[in-house]
Every structure is written in structure tokens, then in C-alpha cells.
Amino acid sequence: MKLPSTRLLVVVIVALVLVIIGIVAFGVTSSNKNTGPIPTPVVEEPSLNISVQDVEAKDDLTDATYSRTRGMFYVSSVDESLLYVINPDTGKIDSTIQTPNPSRLLFSADESVLYTTDGEIVRKLSTATFDTEVEVKVSKGTYAMALTNDNKYLFVVNEYTDSVAILNPDTLVAIKYIAVERRPVDVAMSADGQYAFVANYDSGSITKIALSNLTVVGTIQELGRPVKLITYTPQDLILVLDEYGGQIIALRSDNNEVVGTIEAVHYPSDFSLDTDNNRIYVASYTDGEIGVVDIAMERVVKVVPLNSSLGKVAGLNIVIYAPGKNLLLATNTNYGEIKLVGIK
């Protein structure tokens, strides 16, 4: 019997090695199939200087907003039925305002009115005294709100009845209820004032409503798990924060076209637009950090960890930018922590 030549043995060995490499590669690829997107490595912008300051901790922080006329942050605590007024210059709580169960907050354009929701009731507060002027029971799961650009309508989403209530902003009388898809969680207006966009979390879709006649004119599908919406005025876009994909989706408000995506952070819970520096700040609920997105570069250029006294913890649920101050407010709802983040 003839033994195989040395050359033949080499060929056989090489072939076997290639087969093994192919099997291993296929196994690695297959094992990654349903793990979600792999984040692009962050190439950090070295010129960004970050400072983090702790503010007195409070329980069950559900929302926050910034008042341009007063130069103050307002943070809501449902458990304590309080608003915490935080001075960004001192980094301390300036005062507190007693008001029933303020789950979500929205200032009117001139900031003469503050609207709050508590899951069923919408309240209208005069900011002269912060007393309740009007309150109306709307539905169940009544949380996120938005005013139309002309202040003609107040839109309120109802998570548990899959609907949007359209109210008179002065009287809070319901003008119309519109059915949307499953579990609406946020609403935003197009920059041109023609449409309202409603993010439906469970359906992974956005419902588009014409403001001219208050009717549904379209549904945009396959948007992951949309949790928050922002109006981006320079290009008349609606920015969609996709919780599942960990990304920001840019959507044209006129023709519903997706014009781009930006990978952000893992399990994002909130984002805030900084038009001073052309950035978006994205909070990661699970990782307790903020991703700084450079809009022109279309990528994260800095990751800011917001560790608590217990180390890295989940629960980062709100991030709000204060225009003109290069300052963010972030809250951790699980641990009742408030942090001010300076970014220069």
C-alpha cells in the first residue's frame, strides 16, 4: 500500500484547518444572532470637560424640566407630591412646591402655566402661585404631554387605553379622543406645526396625526421600542429614541422617511437636545451613564458614568439640558438621586 506524499498530507491538513475555522466562525455568528446590535466603539472627544455634582437625594423622581424665564430646574417626586426647584448655579434645592402626584411636567410656551399629570388627572397650575387652577380626569395611564406650536391644543397620551386626548389648554375640556396603537408613551409636534407624532411603545410604531382636522394620516412601523420623541427644528425631523436598538432614529416629518440612525447607549430611557453645541445627551437606564452624541459627527463622542454611592447602578431615567449653561440634570429613580453634569 502506498503512503500519501508529504505534499498531499499538507493539502489535507490545510483543508481540515479551514473547515474547523469555518465551523467556529459560523458558531460565533449564530450565537450572536439575537443579542441586539453591537455598539460601535466610542472614540472620545478629548476636548470635552466633564464635572458631576450631587444634589440632595429624593425618592421616586419621575420627571424634570427647565424654566428659561426662572433659570431653574423643576423635578417631580410622586411619593412626596412635591416639585423640587433646583438652582443650577448653586447646585442646591432652592425651594419646594406642594402639588398632588406630579408624574409628568410641561410648561406653556410663555411659562405662565405648568401642566402636570398623575396617571389619570391633568392639572393646570398658575406659575405665579403654583396653585391648581383646573383639574380634569382624562383616562388611565395619562402621562406624557405636548402643546401644539400655536398653543391651540394640549395632547395627552393615555398608555392604558391606547389613545390620545386632545384638550383645550385653558379649560382642559376634552375636544377629541383619538385611538392609536398599543401603549402610547410620548408625543411631539413637527417643527412646521402641521402634525403630531405619537410613539407607541408596544407596537414599535408612531402614529401621525394631522393638526388641521385632528385625524390619523399615517402609521410608521418597525421603529423598535420608541420611548421618547424630540422635535429637531433645523431639518424638520422627529428624533425617535429606540429603547431596544439603543439608537436614535431620524424621521422626516413630511414624508415619514427614515433618513438616518445613530447608535447611542444600551437601554436608553431619555434624551435631551443641546442646540447650543449641536449635541444630544442620552441616558442609559441599565448602565447609569450618559452618552454624548455629536450630531454633525453622528456618533457618541463621550460616555459619562453617573455612579452612585453604591457604585454602578441602574435607574437613570431623566436627562434635561439647561440652554446657555452647558449643564445637564440627571435623575436616578431607583435610588432617588439627582446629579448636575457640567459639559464644556
Asked if 92 contacts 50 with a C-beta cutoff of 8 angstroms, the reply is no
In angstroms, the CA 15 to CA 99 distance is 74
Cell of 168: 383645550
pLDDT surpassing 50 at residue 302: yes
Q: Residue 17: is its pLDDT beyond 90?
A: no
Torsion sign over Cα 95, 98, 99, 100: positive
The CA distance from 285 to 249, in Å, is 18
pLDDT the model gives residue 56: 80
What is the C-alpha separation between 102 and 124, in angstroms, rounded?
11
The residue with greater pLDDT, 250 or 333, is 250
Average pLDDT (29-33) is 33
- ∠ CA(251), CA(252), CA(257), 5° rounding? 75
Judge contact between 276 and 323, C-beta under 8 A.
yes
Quote the DSSP letter at residue 264: -
Element (H, E) at 17: helix 6-31
| CB contact at 8 A, 331 and 75 | yes
CATH superfamily of 42-343: YVTN repeat-like/Quinoprotein amine dehydrogenase (2.130.10.10)
What's the confidence (pLDDT) of residue 45? Answer: 58
Q: Taking the model in full, what pTM does it have?
A: 0.86
| Non-local CB neighbours of 325 within 8 Å, separated by 6+ positions | 88
**Nearby residues of 263 by Cβ (< 8 Å), 6 or more positions away:** 37, 39, 40, 246, 247, 299, 300
Tell me which of 162-166, 268-272, 303-307 is least confident: 303-307
- Any idea where the domains of the chain sit in the sequence? 42-343
pLDDT at 13 over 60: no
Say how far apart CA 108 and CA 67 lie, in whole Å: 10
State the cell numbers at 318: 431623566
Q: Is the pLDDT score of 8 beyond 70?
A: no
